Amino acid sequence: MEIKYLIELRALIFDVDGTLADTERHGHLPACNEAMRQLGMDVQWSFEEFIAMSHLPGSAFRLAYCLEQRGMPEEKIGRYVEAFKPLKQRLYIEKYLTRLHLRPGVKPMIEEALANGIRLAVVSTSYETQIHALLRAQLGDYYQHFAPILGKESGRKTDTNGLLHRQCLEQMGLTATEVIMIEDSEEGLEAALAAGIPTAVFYNDYTFGKPFRGARLVAPGLEHFNLAQLAAVFEMKMESHR
């Protein structure tokens, strides 16, 4: 089915953590706790503690913040964080990533997008190594179609000027009104809006209840929409602003 749009829809840009899969609860958190145990640290996070630090872009930042709150000297914090980053990433990729599952509706949406010639991209706070590993493991048949894949190495996603999103648009040769951003969080929504990108938020159990101001669509999951319905929601929102 050909998808029509007031300004033709040309691409979907996906966030990763909490959007493609519940990586926070079942991937990043256990990998963090195991890395800290292996480093001999007396720190173990509950899921509630981990999510309470979600405004910090990445596990290393969360660890540094946690150790600062404990009064650890800055030099010692730096040594722990530098040892933690590669160990946690290796544990996440080699041990925990294969246990993850895509969120319902993600794979059908990707399949339908490709069938309609709609491009795919990723903008995330995660390390690009982790993003590539997740896509290969969970979406191997479609991995080659994601371009660009922009993560922490390419810039800070949650900068207030939407820098990483603008970079994504530039690399794709598209304008903000030709794409839809798929998100799960308030911080991700704000970053996409800073770049002028219309955004759909499919919240999860730990982002539920946030205001999501400015989102074109807020819903519990992608499984409730096909591509035509998603585009129609955005078209109606655009019509209402004409």
Q: Report yes or no: 155 and 167 within 8 Å, Cβ to Cβ.
A: yes
pLDDT digits (tens, 9 = 90+) for 61-113: 999 999 999 999 999 999 999 999 999 999 999 999 989 999 999 999 999 99
- Find residue 122's DSSP bridge partners: 14, 149
pLDDT at 237: 53
**Distance (Å, whole) CA 212 – CA 190:** 8
37 and 17 in a single domain? The answer is: no
Place of tokens 């990445």: 58
46 and 165 in a single domain? The answer is: no
Asked if residue 2 belongs to a domain, the reply is no
124 and 194 in a single domain? The answer is: yes
CATH label of the domain that carries residue 154: 3.40.50.1000
- Listed residues 99, 117, 151: the one ending a domain: 99
pLDDT at 185: 92
133 and 194 in a single domain? The answer is: yes
**Distance (Å, whole) CA 40 – CA 34:** 10
166 and 133 in a single domain? The answer is: yes
pLDDT at 231: 85
176 and 208 in a single domain? The answer is: yes
Q: How many residues does the chain have?
A: 242
Cα separation values, 7 from 13, 180, 230, Å: 16, 11, 14
Mean pLDDT by 10 residues, the chain (242 residues): 60 96 94 98 95 86 95 96 97 94 96 96 94 96 98 86 95 95 94 95 92 95 92 65 48
Give the total number of structural domains in the chain: 2
36 and 87 in a single domain? The answer is: yes
pLDDT at 242: 47
Look up the domain containing 203 and give its range: 11-22+101-240
First to last CA, the chain: 27
pLDDT at 10: 95
Does pTM surpass 0.85? yes
pLDDT at 236: 58
155 and 63 in a single domain? The answer is: no
Asked if residue 229 belongs to a domain, the reply is yes
32 and 147 in a single domain? The answer is: no
pLDDT at 5: 44
Q: How many CB atoms lie within 10 A of CB 90?
A: 13
